[in-house]
Structure 1
Amino acid sequence: MTDPRPIRAMSGTNHEGTSAHNRRVMIDALRVNGALSRADLSRATRLTKQTVSNIIEELERDGLVVPKETVRKGRGQPSTPYALVAGGAFAIGLQIDRHVTRAVAVDLVGTVLTRAETDLPPNGPASGAKVVLDLIAKVRDDLSQIAAESEKRLVGLGVAMPGPFGIDGADNDQWMMQAWQKFPLLKTLADGTGLNVGLQNDAAACATAERIVGAAHGLDHAVCLYLGYGIGAGLILNSELYSGANGNAGEIGMALLSPAGPKRTALEHRASLASLYQHLDISPASHGVYDKIAQLAAADDPRIMEWIALAAADLRWGVHLIETIFDPQTIILCGGAPEPLARRLLAAIEPLPPSVADRPGRPLPRLQLGMTDPWSVALGAAAEPIGRAFDPRFSAIMKDARSEDAVA
């Protein structure tokens, strides 16, 4: 008797020279679905039973999977489900924002084991780099106290910060972190920690967090509309995070609301948290600003509601643009906005205008609420090195195939 639940998995390949890809496919299937038997894995990934058995034995030797209690269903043969070992790998995620930096440590299944945050000095990386390195060292030390083998199984450091990357701008442009952009951040972090370091923008990191433990879990096509100091869109296309040629895909906050005329306004100048801070005349660096905005939103403060009405009109246009270009299964409003604010903003964006996504029988709403947690970016950053080490990459298979064709 087969397991009646639907199993989500990417397809493996039985061609020679693809064992690394198949290993990643198996790990991803276990991460998305939980414990699965060898037969379940074979059906879901379209790999032969022998290939699945070989990979399971290899993963078990490497301490990445463990057999669970044998299950008997009906009159068929009993089956043994296999599950990921949470302590099979660890990673650290770092968020660098304009006024604060956060770091978290996670295990293979995305559980946050320890976290810490601290304020960043106003002079950028000149003294901020040491603050960041000290924060990473603290989280790393805390992790070693929690998991004795964490140092041996630490796969890397993921970093997330506001984009866009590689764009020239004025040093005093409040929307761009020019000093940090020009600083050799990756080399400094790699030299200071001895870890492999990857960088992505904060919207992409938040989308990664949604994909692992949030509203995008198990979806193949989703766009995460990130509401932070600025605005971005994390693109999950064909089950993979799409970053673009220069890591700037999804920088929708820079889209112009009115391309014609002398005054061209970018979306994030009117509908981001930074625009809310300006509207309320409060400093984003002040302590307790997150809680203060949450309280004002929960009380339907007239100033908050006025901003919501203006921002919702612009974000409604942004949702229409995303639906038209990417045709996602759903759009997820997420980021660092307090939940009372995000819920009121979500309600104000409705009703959405007609688009290619406006069709009967949709299994998911066109727009839904995701994470409203200031730690979600750091969590997504921590997932990046886990994904780099274990997630399937069909682009890599295509590159291997092109290389083989060239040799032939």
Structure 2
Amino acid sequence: MSEIRPIRAKSGTNQEGASAHNRRVIIEALRLNGTLSRAELSRATQLTKQAVSNIVDELEHDGLVAAQEAVRNGRGQPSTPYRLVPDGAFGIGLQIDRHVTRALAVNLVGSVLARAEANLPSGGPDAGIEVVLELVGRVRDALGKASRHSLERMVGLGAAMPGPFGLDTSDDDPWMMASWQKFPLVDALAVGTGLSVSLQNDSAACAIAERMVGAAHGLDHAVCIYLGYGIGAGLILNGELYSGGNGNAGEIGMALLAPRGADRTPLEHRASLAALYQRLNLDPGDPQLSSKVEALAAAKGENVRAWVEEAAEDLRWGVQLIENLFDPQTVVLTTGAPATLARLLVEAMQPLLPSLAERPDRRLPRLQLGIVDPWTVALGAASEPISRAFDPRFSAILKSPAVKA
């Protein structure tokens, strides 16, 4: 019997997929606006009043939205606003970095309900996976105490770690987490927790966090530059996270931007926090690292100022390239670095280089400082299962069995 010839095609839509998409549209409208009546939802989403009523009834039955006290506007009939139910769904996020792992749990509206962190032992995943699973278990137990609905309303576990994924990297390369990147992490977490698991790079997780509760909230076109040990960019395009063909979209840290003479080293080798640690002779695994960097940044010492000036020059080119390639509404700089250092860097990046983003009708700044918190990656990782389950996305209107909302 001959093999079936693979045929390239887009999947068609169907009524079930359209219904799932419309449910997601209603949920997003409530997330962005807080409370809306059925009439307001109909006007905002361009769905019929009957369609909105049917969806709201379903979501209310499912425990995802709740009616509020009726409001009388003028002489007409009072209207009933609806809001999302925070305990309607929960997600757990996991960050795996070079020296530390963090986990936290969020509810449907992105509020953090539990968090914990632990040091990762040397030896890669063989030594670290049990630490990671124990950490997730601690957060899960704490979440169960914070909300009695968390067990039946858990939508999944999101994991995030530095990329890129799928490359033939060496364990000797300090810029890569080769052993973890090659480890079957998703399978190990799924077996160890019994949850649906997704994996993304840390910059993508930061973009999700910024869209959920940060500077990209409500935006359909934004790019989040994550300044960590390395540098990456999370891409929000047409309201969805764009991951690329292999999950490595946005790896701008590997780009050879603005080479100074013969210096053609990657961007993250010059402008990342790792480059700063090297310049200051600091140990990235030091538990007091953040407070030491904060003190040095506040003092504006010569080495800190020199790194800020050089990093700002490189990152200007990165922002200019991003603007010309993706035409975002704004570029957001997110980092786990101390706030004093982050503000110095953003200030030093001004003025930005000319690009097509210089428009007379701009409503948002071309560059803005986003969330400055070492927990941002874990927050975005926890928000990913929520986003995957409830945010509008193209796959929701296709014949995809993976989409349930």
Alignment of 1:148-163 (within 5 A): 148-163=148-163
Q: Tell me the alpha carbon deviations over residues 166-187 of structure 1, each in whole angstroms, 9 at most, x when there is no partner.
A: 0111111111100001111100
- SS of 2:248's equivalent in the other structure is coil
Query: Bigger CA drift: 357-366 or 81-90?
Result: 357-366
Q: Structure 1 length normalisation: TM-score?
A: 0.92
Deviation, 1:262, is: 6.7
Deviation, 1:396, is: 3.8
- Tell me the equivalent position of 1:347: 347
Deviation, 1:361, is: 3.4
Moved over 3 A (4+): 13-17, 258-263
Q: Structure 2 length normalisation: TM-score?
A: 0.93
- Tell me the equivalent position of 2:392: 392
- Tell me the equivalent position of 2:196: 196
- SS of 1:36's equivalent in the other structure is strand
Q: Tell me the alpha carbon deviations over residues 333-387 of structure 1, each in whole angstroms, 9 at most, x when there is no partner.
A: 1121211001000011111111111122311111111011000110000001111
Deviation, 1:275, is: 0.4
Alignment of 1:7-406 (within 5 A): 18-257=18-257, 263-397=263-397
Task: Quote the Cα distance in structure 2 between the aligned partners of 1:398 and 1:188.
Answer: 29
Contact between 2:18 and 2:396, CA under 8 Å: does it hold in 1? no
Give the structure, 1 or 2, with the largest relative contact order (CA under 8 Å, sep 6 or more): 2
Q: Could you tell me which amino acid in structure 2 is paired with residue 64 of structure 1?
A: L
- SS of 1:75's equivalent in the other structure is coil
Q: Could you tell me which amino acid in structure 1 is paired with residue 315 of structure 2?
A: L
Instruction: State the percentage of identical aligned residues.
Output: 68
Size of the aligned set, in residue pairs, is 388
Task: Quote the Cα distance in structure 2 between the aligned partners of 1:139 and 1:14.
Answer: 39
Any unmatched runs of 5+ in structure 2? 1-12, 401-405
- SS of 2:44's equivalent in the other structure is helix
Q: Could you tell me which amino acid in structure 1 is paired with residue 306 of structure 2?
A: E
Residues 330/21 of structure 1: CA separation in 2 closer, same or farther (3 Å cut): same
- SS of 1:76's equivalent in the other structure is coil
Task: Quote the Cα distance in structure 2 between the aligned partners of 1:228 and 1:74.
Answer: 53
Any unmatched runs of 5+ in structure 1? 1-12, 401-408
Q: Could you tell me which amino acid in structure 1 is paired with residue 264 of structure 2?
A: R
Contact between 1:14 and 1:47, CA under 8 Å: does it hold in 2? no
Residues 194/346 of structure 1: CA separation in 2 closer, same or farther (3 Å cut): same
Q: Could you tell me which amino acid in structure 2 is paired with residue 270 of structure 1?
A: R
RMSD, aligned α-carbons: 1.6
Q: Tell me the alpha carbon deviations over residues 174-213 of structure 1, each in whole angstroms, 9 at most, x when there is no partner.
A: 1110000111110000000000000111001011100011
Contact between 1:227 and 1:272, CA under 8 Å: does it hold in 2? yes
Contact between 1:158 and 1:198, CA under 8 Å: does it hold in 2? yes
Contact between 1:315 and 1:349, CA under 8 Å: does it hold in 2? yes
Query: Bigger CA drift: 244-253 or 386-395?
Result: 386-395
Residues 314/102 of structure 1: CA separation in 2 closer, same or farther (3 Å cut): same
Q: Could you tell me which amino acid in structure 2 is paired with residue 150 of structure 1?
A: S
